[in-house]
A and B are shown apart, each in its own frame.
Chain A
Amino acid sequence: DQQVKQNSPSLSVQEGRISILNCDYTNSMFDYFLWYKKYPAEGPTFLISISSIKDKNEDGRFTVFLNKSAKHLSLHIVPSQPGDSAVYFCAASGLDGGATNKLIFGTGTLLAVQP
């Protein structure tokens, strides 16, 4: 049973436009959320995170929004660049009250930014 879901396997966006990647979770006990980016033949790299006490976190072109009531978070990339083309994973943590820093990952969304 997937506790973290990324329902869009792929997304195609024009360069310069906004990319919006979505993630849903089922367990309201999650209290920390992260986005990772993965290029082919490389490991995932940490991109941005958000704590459940916030509803928005911004880092340059990347902004993560959290809607706790809907159990939904999204990653906005503005403006999108061809170098952003990668697989994006959503991850969540906190089920064990912080006893561990184990992450639950979604299945990923492949973003293609067209020049």
Chain B
Amino acid sequence: DARVTQTPRHKVTEMGQEVTMRCQPILGHNTVFWYRQTMMQGLELLAYFRNRAPLDDSGMPKDRFSAEMPDATLATLKIQPSEPRDSAVYFCASGWGPIYEQYFGPGTRLTVT
């Protein structure tokens, strides 16, 4: 049963600390997306990779957020330094371009105090 995995599932940290979230896309998928779920905005796209190359990170605050794909089996989203307003659920999704359907991981719930 192929699925997207994300670690950690929950993270509580203090303001100013670095946070790293990890995602393992479905084997064979060549597109990876990072989303943030908020009540007001729904699912906001933060960054998007195709074949490990970043295609769009316009949704990310560049001064503190960074997204990378060190290899085809791992995508990371890093926040440094973290702030209370970053508290949200972060989802990773993968897909096979140009098919539009995306497959989501279970999310990382981040709380910054």
Instruction: Report yes or no: B43 in contact with A41, Cβ–Cβ below 8 A.
Output: no
Q: How far is the CA of A6 from the CA of B100 in the complex (A)?
A: 20
Q: Knowing A32-B100, A41-B106, A101-B98 touch, does A107 contact B41 (C-beta < 8 A)?
A: yes
Per-residue A-contact encoding for B93-113, CB less than 8 Å = 1, 0 else: 101011111111111000000
Instruction: Report yes or no: A108 in contact with B31, Cβ–Cβ below 8 A.
Output: no
Instruction: Report yes or no: A105 in contact with B4, Cβ–Cβ below 8 A.
Output: no
Instruction: Report yes or no: A46 in contact with B106, Cβ–Cβ below 8 A.
Output: no
Q: Which residue of A lies closest to B106 (CB)?
A: A43
Instruction: Report yes or no: B106 in contact with A49, Cβ–Cβ below 8 A.
Output: no
Q: How far is the CA of A98 from the CA of B4 in the complex (A)?
A: 24
Distance in angstroms from A30 CB to nearest chain B CB is 11
Q: Give the dominant DSSP class at B's interface.
A: strand
Distance in angstroms from B85 CB to nearest chain A CB is 18
Instruction: Report yes or no: A100 in contact with B93, Cβ–Cβ below 8 A.
Output: no
User: Interface residue tally of chain B, by bracket?
Assistant: 20 to 34
Instruction: Report yes or no: B107 in contact with A43, Cβ–Cβ below 8 A.
Output: yes
Cβ-neighbour of A108 out of B42, B91, B97 (below 8 A): B42
User: Interface residue tally of chain A, by bracket?
Assistant: 20 to 34
Instruction: Report yes or no: B103 in contact with A101, Cβ–Cβ below 8 A.
Output: no
Which chain B residues (53-78) contact chain A, with CB distance < 8 Å?
55-56
- Residues of chain A within 8 A (CB-CB) of B40 are 107
Interface positions of A (Cβ within 8 A of B): 6, 32, 34, 36, 41-46, 49, 89, 91, 93, 98, 100-108
Can you list 28 A-B contacts with CB-CB less than 8 angstroms, sorted by A residue number?
A: A34-B100, A41-B107, A42-B106, A43-B4, A43-B93, A43-B104, A43-B105, A43-B106, A43-B107, A45-B104, A46-B101, A49-B101, A89-B42, A89-B43, A93-B100, A98-B98, A100-B55, A101-B100, A102-B33, A102-B48, A102-B56, A103-B100, A104-B45, A105-B35, A105-B43, A105-B44, A105-B45, A107-B39
